[in-house]
Amino acid sequence: MAPHVLILGFNDTEETELIITLDILRRSGVENQALGKFLQRHEKAEKFLGAICGAPFVFANNGIGKGGAITSFPPEKDEILKKGDYDYHEENVVVSKNIVTSRAPGTAFEFALKLTELLVGKDKADEIGKKLLIIQ
């Protein structure tokens, strides 16, 4: 049985401190059962859930978005499809009901703008995209 961990961040926590720690622990096989339950509660409440790169595998591993469309970092495709009923797409960003997935670090801007559009509105997403020169 793999060890379990919960990583907490606060308002002044550097994002890289969290991400690097999480990434290294995940690669070493450490698990977080509370995360699966958290995701399942949010999906049931129809709240937006987003995952990028290899993280959509966590959704598949916990049955999140089952029966819907999903994408991920390409090497994760087969593992996701082994987990069950998913309609795998190769677009940069895929929205299926309240589940938003994306493929890789190179799609992070598109992913973040799609989340902004869904949460705040298309006008705000376009405004930010233009300021960042992502949208011409």
> What Å distances lie between residue 37 and 11, 46, 56, 135, CA to CA?
24, 14, 15, 37
- Residue in 49, 51, 53, 125 annotated catalytic: 53
Question: The tokens of 68 are what?
Answer: 């819907």
User: For this structure, is 78 an active site residue?
Assistant: no
Picking from 19, 101, 44, the residue whose alpha carbon sits closest to that of residue 68 is 101
**What is the β-pairing status of strands 99-102 and 93-96?**
antiparallel
Instruction: Show which residues are catalytic.
Output: 53
